[in-house]
Amino acid sequence: LLDELNTPLSTCGTCAGYLRQVWEGCGHPLRAGQSLWRPYETLNPAVRLQMLEAAATAISLIEMRDISPPGEHAKLFWSEPQTGFTSGLSAKTPKPEPVDHWQRAVQAIDEAIIEARHDPETARSLFALASYGRLDPASLEQLRATFAKEGIPPEFLSHYVPDGPFACLRQNDGLSDKF
């Protein structure tokens, strides 16, 4: 590639346009300002650097297919076409954000409290869930006071005494025949 970039345009024929495009692309004078061809190894270090920059520009232009030089090895710089071949490794998928189950539970309870403020059935269901395992009247009264403090009308719960776990569920709720 370095030899091609250092070739005088008069000997390049139809490919001279490609050389001009490469040298314009890297911003250096044509053939790094040389008037005579010299082997790369004997060039001044500043000229060598310009030649390397021109080579990098040429490779980039070939990869992007902005230029299509006729040489048999030019296609080696093209990106490989996509095929069905894979490396056999699974695709790296980003890890999902961790779920804070407690936060979701608190959010669900907050939503249930908001609904229970306006819906007696929801209030009774929430009370049945919260009163599960509480059997003494003092504990149930304390729970009623907590519900009232949360803005749930006491009349939604005033005569409700749960008689078992999930007592708010009835057979016609469609959940189970044996609840």
Cβ neighbours of residue 24 closer than 8 Å, sequence gap 6 or more? none
Helix, strand, or coil (residue 112): helix
Please write the tens of the pLDDT for every residue from 31-74: 888 888 888 899 899 999 999 999 999 988 888 888 888 878 88
Token representation of residue 88 = 């056999």
How high is the mean pLDDT of the chain?
Answer: 82
- pLDDT at residue 164, rounded to an integer: 54
Residue 14, classified by CB atoms within 10 Å of its CB into exposed (0-12), middle (13-18) or buried (19+), is exposed
Please write the tens of the pLDDT for every residue from 69-108: 887 888 888 877 767 666 777 777 888 888 889 999 999 9
Name the nearest CA neighbour of 123 among 112, 134, 133: 112
- pLDDT at residue 115, rounded to an integer: 93
Scanning the structure block, which residue is given the tokens 């056999």?
88
Average pLDDT rounded to a whole number, residues 113-138:
89
The pTM (predicted TM-score) of the whole model is 0.44
Taking the C-alpha atoms of residue 57 and residue 25, their distance in angstroms, rounded to an integer, is 7
| pLDDT of 133 higher than 60 | yes
